[in-house]
Amino acid sequence: MPRPQTTNPETSPAARFGYELRRLRMEVRMTQSQLGRKLGYTGAAMGAIERGLRLPQQRELVEQCDEALGVNGALIQVWEQCRMDGNQRWFYPWLEVEQQAQVLRAWQPTLVLGLLQTEDYARAVFRGEPGITKDKIDRSVAARLERQTLFEGENPPMFWAVLDEAVLQRPVGGYAVMRAQLAHLLAMADRPCITIQIVPIAADCTAGLGGGFFLAQLRDGREVAYLESVTKGQVVAQTKEVRGIQARYEEIRATALPRDGSLKMIKEWMERWTT
């Protein structure tokens, strides 16, 4: 029997609420149908909320759920935060693009790409956000690891990842975390669908110093880009802009080491973090 898919809480306020509702419901070993009956709803209606299809608009429903699950206001607190976050720009359009991608290309000059991060590395990255809580770190790490299941299916996308050598040099999380992270990069590079290349610090390339980005070729032939920033990203689908980003990617990749040379450099830095 296939394992039920978990809603990714990083995709939208509704998805985050649905994720927490499902988690709390399962902690008390209650089915969707049982919870629905307590509230006067069907199990299917509760399932729609848990899948993030909609965020409940009535506080009364949330209070009833909270009481039925006996979680002492925890669900109400999540709902209030989701309501506050409702006007923020979320990452969900790009997550949908990734699921439809046949080919992914990416450049990152500062950190290991999220799709290639270990749990400890991701936790160290999120911990650097000013004012972040432990609970939010845990949710963000879980969402990032869930996103990486993209490569676990029968037909994963081809992924060409280009990183600056500075990524290997920055001690995110400390020596042990970096060593494990670089070992993970080598393991991921063993997969037939993943190629990792490194742009040496000595390379005369400034085309990618403005920030990281993704390019996706979808299975229907469309091409989309995602531009990263400190607070939020931007999905770009206009042909002219995407072509410009593709040209920039090719300029960066032209200065990168070949695959074998890149893996050798990763191994060398892994050994440095060991000693």
List the domains of the chain with CATH numbers. 13-85 (1.10.260.40), 92-274 (3.30.870)
Distance CA 118, CA 142 (A): 11
For 2-14, how does the pLDDT look when each residue is reduced to its tens digit (9 = 90+)? 444 566 676 677 8
70-85 average pLDDT score: 83
Angle between helix axes 43-50 and 13-27 (nearest 10 degrees) is: 120
Distance CA 17, CA 49 (A): 8
H helix runs in the chain, sequence order: 13-27, 32-39, 43-50, 59-69, 74-85, 92-100, 119-127, 134-147, 165-169, 175-189, 239-254, 259-274
229-252 average pLDDT score: 86
Q: Of 173, 146, 253, 167, whose CA–CA distance to 205 is shortest?
A: 253
180-203 average pLDDT score: 97
Residue whose pair of structure tokens reads 């091409």 in the numeric block:
223
Farthest CA pair distance, the chain: 66
pLDDT(1) > 50: no
Residue predicted with more confidence, 205 or 270? 270
Q: How many CB atoms lie within 10 A of CB 190?
A: 8
Q: How many CA atoms lie within 13 A of 118 on its CB side?
A: 17
For 143-184, how does the pLDDT look when each residue is reduced to its tens digit (9 = 90+)? 899 889 999 888 899 999 999 999 999 999 999 999 999 999
